[in-house]
Amino acid sequence: MTPNQTLNGRYRIISSLGEGGMADVYLAHDLILNRNVAVKLLRFDLQNDDKTIQRFQREALSTTELVHPNIVSVYDVGEDNGIHYLVMEYVDGTDLKQYIKEHFPIPYQQVIDIMEQILSGVATAHAHDIIHRDLKPQNVLMDKKGNAKISDFGVALAQEEQTLTQTNAVVGSVHYLSPEQARGHLATKRSDIYSLGIILYEMLTGRVPFEGENAVSIAIKHYQNQIPYVRDFDPRIPQALENVVLKATAKNPFDRYNSVSEMADDLSTALSVRRAEDSRFIAPSLTDETIIADASDFQPNPKDVAEVKAISQNGSKDQQPTKSKKRRNRHPLRKKIAFFFGLLILFIFGIGLAFYLSFPKVVTIPNVTGLTQAQATAVLKKHDLKVGQITRTGDQKIDYKRVVETLPRKKKQVQAGVAVNVVISQGPNSYVVDNYIGNSYAKVAKKLRAKGFKVKKRSIQTTQFDRGKIIYQSVVPDQVVVPRATTISFSVTK
């Protein structure tokens, strides 16, 4: 859109406010109500994508019922000559991400004031059973008076709709992603609470807790690593205030606040002198430790065994009878006893030899990581091993339907013929979709199928691009998805 263009004869475009993965936002003037508004236009290349249009319309439906001073209001939704648009309240200011950069360090009381506004808005959404799922500073607008307003409910879902929309597995921005969303699980209200805890962390430290080479590595850190302590960054931060971050970002959702209102209540007293002696919050689930004894704890110490053998050997030498100088003087009874003990030794030796010969064959578990199930089965059989239980798990490194590990593990010595359990990869639990437009379909399809995606192809006749190149993809770039639950369709030149 260009300045002075008008949508539906009512909204005259003034200037561009920003661009996003799904839509572009413009400042416009409502000619009927004589006020400035923000107009979000669905990108031209997505105008024919039904799923994107549904998500775009869902933002309007999700927000129209949310009337709150800390939520950006939606005024109108419509279409003009195939252009889908959303008309929203115009917030004259910046987003919280930029606000943090410009004003950091922010006084603690001001941090709490801003967070309380955000929590109030989210509480209203949760009261309507709407989960935002993509809370981040970029989606919190700050006006020039310091008021916070939550925007972009484009990935928000009513709670009862989640099971119907999980197939697409769009799970939000990775720096603020809850562990359960990173694993591809359903988002809940406590998932929003986790994101709010990360926002509070960033307001107190000026940075996000986890960085990485790519979005997947960051998502892994969210469900594996402990959130860094904000007091390690700034020891002046009260322990009670740090505890709000720790409780909101607990890995186990049940260790977090039960509701946004509960988090707001805790935050409101975080600077109180009565809480100066608060101890650091530790998630309850982390205190329930289970001690598992290692099998090596029950094995005899080789050193001790060697010492026992040495003592035994020395003792046997010490107990050897002194040879008689004159064999002819040995008593006949002693000959009988010697003969009896000789037979006993032969008998014991025979039993030991039979036991040794009957001892089962020992083999080493081969390394079958990265092989297909059929290939792994063949290798195990070649090593006189059977295939036991087949289980499946998500894995970030091992390709789809390839072996992750065996139980017992590789290089372990076991008896021949035992059953070896095999763990098969279901591909990554979360994956960031790249922009594949212009790339070779054959290479992209092979790569995505190895991750667990279902890939579909639609051939397009055109002379503008080389043959076999991708000119359209159904999943928008930079979305975090669950590969095994996602189908990507490509339009390919022929």
The CA–CA distances, whole Å, from 412 to 119, 239, 362, 376 equal 53, 48, 10, 16
Helix (H, G, I), strand (E, B) or coil at 241: helix
Considering all CA atoms of the chain, what is the largest pairwise distance in Å, rounded to the nearest integer? 135
Q: Quote the CA–CA distance of 148 and 116 in Å, as a whole number.
A: 9
Q: Quote the CA–CA distance of 264 and 241 in Å, as a whole number.
A: 11
Q: Quote the CA–CA distance of 414 and 365 in Å, as a whole number.
A: 7
Contacts of 28 (CB under 8 A, 6+ apart): 7, 11, 12, 13, 14, 36, 37, 38, 39, 87
The answer to whether 171 and 184 have CB atoms below 8 angstroms apart is yes
CA dihedral 101, 105, 106, 111 (to 10 degrees): 90
Beta-strand (E) ranges in 326-385? 362-364
Contacts of 39 (CB under 8 A, 6+ apart): 7, 11, 13, 25, 26, 27, 28, 85, 86, 87, 88
Residue 354, φ and ψ in degrees, nearest 5 = -65, -40
* Sign (positive or negative) of CA dihedral 165, 163, 132, 283: negative
* Identity of the residue numbered 79: E
Q: Quote the CA–CA distance of 459 and 492 in Å, as a whole number.
A: 5
Q: Following DSSP, what letter does each residue of 453-465 receive, concatenated?
A: -EEEEEEE--SSS
The answer to whether 118 and 65 have CB atoms below 8 angstroms apart is no
Burial classification of residue 26, based on how many CB atoms lie within 10 Å of its CB (0-12 exposed, 13-18 middle, 19 or more buried) = buried
Answer yes or no: 134 catalytic. Answer: yes
The answer to whether 155 and 474 have CB atoms below 8 angstroms apart is no
The CA–CA distances, whole Å, from 116 to 79, 129, 199, 488 equal 36, 20, 12, 40
Q: Quote the CA–CA distance of 298 and 170 in Å, as a whole number.
A: 49
Burial classification of residue 125, based on how many CB atoms lie within 10 Å of its CB (0-12 exposed, 13-18 middle, 19 or more buried) = buried
Q: Quote the CA–CA distance of 165 and 306 in Å, as a whole number.
A: 65
Active-site residue (options: 49, 134, 152, 395) = 134
Which residues are known to be catalytic?
Answer: 134
